[in-house]
Structure 1
């Protein structure tokens, strides 16, 4: 009888489905292509299906929850929800070393940006683990952060004296080094700020600006990546991650990489070309009606000046704030990948 009961228990364990995992997920900006095309389908369809129904996801976004963007990872670390994702630059007040993930002008193509992110990833994983009690699942790009202006500009020099909304702290430092005034305005408030003259220009992804209607309140587009690629980090609360069994961890990691992170990177470069066409009418717009912004050609002199400011002013300033240990680690990883080194004492 004892043997029979033992055999029955073993058989029952084999046929009983794995316990379901419920994940509460907070996505990035709900109205932008990264969320609509990749985040939402992945979390609500792809992952639950891949798990055979064993992973159930409740998805919202930080703007739908009216969260301050700087609170997304703080609350994630506190376990308010299980998975959170937003622009890494939003978290630099808590982790200045994180600015080294998305440096302006070091990557002009999606392949270069991916190489920079891959080099930075071990550093980023350590930052999220220590600062936000979380485990990094993915780092995906918004398209390059370009400049929208409600002002007549012909090149980089014309930004001097203008009020410009930056997309991150390092970008703000960069703009100030160019003689512009960096202004802190949230993404959702930019159209009103441009219209009222609170800012003359604003930095964001070309596709984000198209989707959010920035073309209605700006006239000129300068397609130089002054704001980097605005990397969006997807992370899971570390306590939640450690509570998952090894098979579930592997499933989530593999699915995130193959079905979310990789596709987002694959479309990043074409997205920039298409978005510029949509904003300016220079080319075919696959996303809707083409608009009539003036495309400002970026000269080689613009790139040389911008690179000089970055290497000699912006990066040393960041190294001083982040600390020598992080600057050295950046030199050995990201810097080595892009051929730039920060002088450290």
Structure 2
């Protein structure tokens, strides 16, 4: 297990000066806005202030530690650290039912996405308790997962035949149903893959792509949310959680909702508009220098076709992987919230 962690990062976690309620925290991608704007300020500043010093945190990130993405929650459950946060889709090999948290195309606004996440949250809490020995503290969004292409495209149909990196398993299944070839490429490796032609297109959040420089190796941007919102789950090891007294548990839950989760959601909708402006030059870019990618607007026909593929192929295939009980539970919660139902198999 420890071979997955750099020696220096592991030593920093386990040899830090003891503190009664200091949490060893592993954040998500260090270079992306969610971590820089919300995660890091919360754990290092807002949490100690909100709890009058009752809780502090020692923070690193999974990429700084060299963790395999599929190992983040496994190691959390084993108690290697106290708190971890990363994209839920990274854990679906261990928990295929978790795919139901982030379904492509059913939420086109931040309000709709949060309603979907709120409906799914009891399911997610059960999954994390049973699969990863942990308790969910927060679920925050990356921006909608859109399509970057280093190829001339004019709409959804032009993705057929392309090699495309998906942002999660359900997204990859959708792309394959569309006639594309799904390619598994790590986020950090995408720019090189686009440049070398290993992939023609790749899916990620518009802001993430801007921050990571995908505009340098992409020409066209299709802002249809083929990859959903890539929710990032923050969870605490269940044994560590149970070791906290009730007052400290309440303080942590209140602080993380008010100082991290709610602000991250509040900024999510405007973030997409601003990120598209930064990538294409269509509007002012508050984050820095605007780039000049070609904006490919999705048509009503694109949206209708994508939704049909989702409902007739992608969701039924997920129901087979997750099982009938999870499909029914999804229908009764998330499906009811977004107006989609998986037909009984």
| TM-score bin (small chain) | over 0.9
Runs of 4+ in 1 over 3 A off after TM superposition: none
Decide whether the 8 Å contact of 1:146 with 1:205 is kept in 2. Answer: yes
Which whole-Å CA distance do the structure 2 matches of 1:181 and 1:235 have between them? 33
Which whole-Å CA distance do the structure 1 matches of 2:165 and 2:223 have between them? 15
CA offset at residue 20 of structure 1?
A: 3.2
2:318 maps to 1:333: no
CA offset at residue 231 of structure 1?
A: 0.2
In the other structure, the counterpart of 1:80 is 80
Which whole-Å CA distance do the structure 2 matches of 1:132 and 1:118 have between them? 20
2:183 maps to 1:180: no
Decide whether the 8 Å contact of 1:135 with 1:237 is kept in 2. Answer: yes
Which whole-Å CA distance do the structure 2 matches of 1:344 and 1:324 have between them? 8
Which whole-Å CA distance do the structure 1 matches of 2:20 and 2:80 have between them? 20
In the other structure, the counterpart of 1:63 is 63
Which runs of no fewer than 5 residues in structure 2 stay unpaired? 1-18
* Correspondences of 1:5-20 after superposition (within 5 Å): 20=20
* Correspondences of 1:130-141 after superposition (within 5 Å): 130-141=130-141
Describe the superposition over 1:82-122 as per-residue Cα deviations: whole angstroms up to 9, x where unpaired. 00000000000000000000000000000000000000000
2:247 maps to 1:235: no
SS of the counterpart of 1:153? coil
In the other structure, the counterpart of 1:3 is none
Which whole-Å CA distance do the structure 2 matches of 1:334 and 1:50 have between them? 32
* Correspondences of 1:1-345 after superposition (within 5 Å): 20-345=20-345
Which whole-Å CA distance do the structure 2 matches of 1:245 and 1:186 have between them? 39
Which whole-Å CA distance do the structure 1 matches of 2:68 and 2:280 have between them? 32
In the other structure, the counterpart of 2:7 is none
Report how many residues are paired: 327
TM-score (structure 2 length as normaliser)? 0.94
CA offset at residue 41 of structure 1?
A: 0.3
Which runs of no fewer than 5 residues in structure 1 stay unpaired? 1-18
Which whole-Å CA distance do the structure 1 matches of 2:311 and 2:43 have between them? 39
Decide whether the 8 Å contact of 1:20 with 1:53 is kept in 2. Answer: no
Which whole-Å CA distance do the structure 2 matches of 1:134 and 1:308 have between them? 36
Decide whether the 8 Å contact of 1:146 with 1:206 is kept in 2. Answer: yes
SS of the counterpart of 1:218? coil
Which whole-Å CA distance do the structure 2 matches of 1:56 and 1:251 have between them? 12
Which whole-Å CA distance do the structure 1 matches of 2:54 and 2:115 have between them? 34
Describe the superposition over 1:49-74 as per-residue Cα deviations: whole angstroms up to 9, x where unpaired. 22222222100000000001110000
TM-score (structure 1 length as normaliser)? 0.94
Describe the superposition over 1:243-264 as per-residue Cα deviations: whole angstroms up to 9, x where unpaired. 1000000000000000000000
